[in-house]
Structure 1
Amino acid sequence: MSLDITPLYAGLIGLLFVILSVQVIAARFKTNVALGDGGEKLLIRRIRVQANCAEYAPLGLILLASAELQGAPGWVMHLLGLMLLSGRVLHAVGFGRTPEIMLLRRGGMVLTFAVLIFAALANIGHALI
């Protein structure tokens, strides 16, 4: 088995992470805070949006890669990959706004958790048979 699908979503989520990182850097320039958050609300929010992506995306991608290596069908991999990518984008947009767009933030978390649960169960199921 090889990884043919997961790298597509890993690359797209990598680009999303760069965008979120640039937003943190821009907020650092705007607030003139080089280290930490300086108590600046804008910077705190952007740091958390980026960190949230860093907390959830890697596990999602690891689970996707494991499922793909175990032979999950291509359509399943694309569905899970799109759900993970969409979830991370929706969450970033919803959480990154002031005021927050809670519908987008919640939707992003639902999609992200769904991928984590489905891919985890698929991996467990494949490992047991």
Structure 2
Amino acid sequence: MKPSNQSNADDRAVSPVIGVILMVAITVILAAVIGTFVLGLGDQLGDTAPQATFTIDSNTSDSISLTKTGGQSLESADLVLAVDGERVNSSIPSDTWETGERKEIVSESGNWSSGEAQVRIIHDPSGNAVFEQTWDFS
């Protein structure tokens, strides 16, 4: 038979060890969560660009015809066209852009530069390019 004071000592020895481990774990988790948001990383967690592919079919001095050839469906309102690094004030028809659909994007700010230019379609919520190609506008 065990002495009564020995069983109490064993029970008390387990409790502080578990308590310390739990306190350390909670502190580490809280520090990681707070650190993530303080450093601004929490705002970027859900902002990833969708995957899609496009081809440029043709262009004029103030419009460009693009066909979506694959990938996820995209909301046209979330897309911005950039030519040579400058966002173009353009009217992209606002609806869902499905694979196989062609859209003509007309520049509202005038003619695009002649010669080769970098054409990008930017997913505005994430700020990432979903399409990038050099195109000859001459």
Q: TM-score range by the shorter chain?
A: under 0.3
TM-score normalised per structure 1: 0.23
- Greater share of residues in helix: 1
TM-score, normalising length: structure 2: 0.22
Q: Name the structure with the higher strand share.
A: 2
Bigger radius of gyration among the two: 2
Relative CO higher for 1 or 2, CA cutoff 8 Å, sep ≥ 6? Answer: 1
